[in-house]
A = this chain, B = another copy of it.
Amino acid sequence: MANLGSLVATGASVKVEGLLVAPPVGKKQRIELRLEKVLHVGPVDPAYPIPKTQLSLEVLRDHNHIHLRPRTNMISAIIRIRDALAFATHSFFHENEFRLIHTPIITTSDCEGAGEMFRVTTMVGEGIPQKDGKKIDYAADFFGRQAFLTVSGQLQLETCACAVGDVYTFGPSFRAEHSHTSRHLAEFWMVEPEIVDADIQDVMNWAEAYVKYMSQWLIDKCCDDMELMADKGCIDRLRMVASTPFERISYTEAVKILEEAVKGGKKFDNKVEWGIDLASEHERFLTENEFQKPVIVYNYPKGIKAFYMRLNDDSKTVAAMDVLVPKVGELIGGSQREERYEVIKERILEMGLPLKPYEWYLDLRRFGTVKHSGFGLGFEQCCCLRPALTTLETLFPSQDTQEEQICN
Residues of A within 8 A of B (CB): 11-13, 15, 42-45, 48-49, 65-68, 70-71, 75-76, 79-80, 82-83, 86-87, 90, 94, 99-109, 116, 118-126, 128, 134-136, 142-145, 147, 149, 155-156, 159-160, 162-164, 167, 171-172, 174, 176, 178, 186-187, 189, 197, 339, 341, 360-361, 363-364, 366-370, 392, 395-402, 404
Complex Cα distance, B135 from A136, in Å, reads 15
Give the contacting residue for A99; candidates B83, B99, B360; CB below 8 A: B83
Are the CB atoms of A135 and B126 closer together than 8 Å? yes
Give the contacting residue for A68; candidates B43, B68, B178, B363; CB below 8 A: B363
Give the contacting residue for A79; candidates B86, B99, B147; CB below 8 A: B99
Give the contacting residue for A49; candidates B99, B118, B144, B367; CB below 8 A: B367
- Chain B residues with Cβ below 8 Å from A15 are 197
Give the contacting residue for A42; candidates B103, B109, B368; CB below 8 A: B368
Centre residue among A11, A149, A164 by max chain B CB count within 10 A: A164
The main secondary structure of chain A at its interface with chain B is mixed
A393 to chain B, nearest CB (A): 9
Are the CB atoms of B159 and A363 closer together than 8 Å? no
Give the contacting residue for A395; candidates B94, B160, B176, B395; CB below 8 A: B160
- Chain B residues with Cβ below 8 Å from A120 are 118-120, 149
Told that A67-B361, A109-B397, A159-B397 touch, could you supply 4 new A-B pairs with CB distance under 8 A? A48-B367, A71-B163, A87-B100, A102-B172
Complex Cα distance, B396 from A100, in Å, reads 14
Which chain B residue has the least Cβ–Cβ distance from A173? Answer: B105
Are the CB atoms of A142 and B118 closer together than 8 Å? yes
Which chain B residue has the least Cβ–Cβ distance from A120? Answer: B118
Are the CB atoms of A398 and B108 closer together than 8 Å? yes
Are the CB atoms of B164 and A80 closer together than 8 Å? yes
Are the CB atoms of B102 and A392 closer together than 8 Å? yes
Are the CB atoms of B100 and A86 closer together than 8 Å? yes
Are the CB atoms of A187 and B104 closer together than 8 Å? yes
Complex Cα distance, B372 from A170, in Å, reads 29
Which chain B residue has the least Cβ–Cβ distance from A133? Answer: B126
- Chain B residues with Cβ below 8 Å from A367 are 11, 44-45, 48-49, 65, 68
Are the CB atoms of B364 and A67 closer together than 8 Å? yes
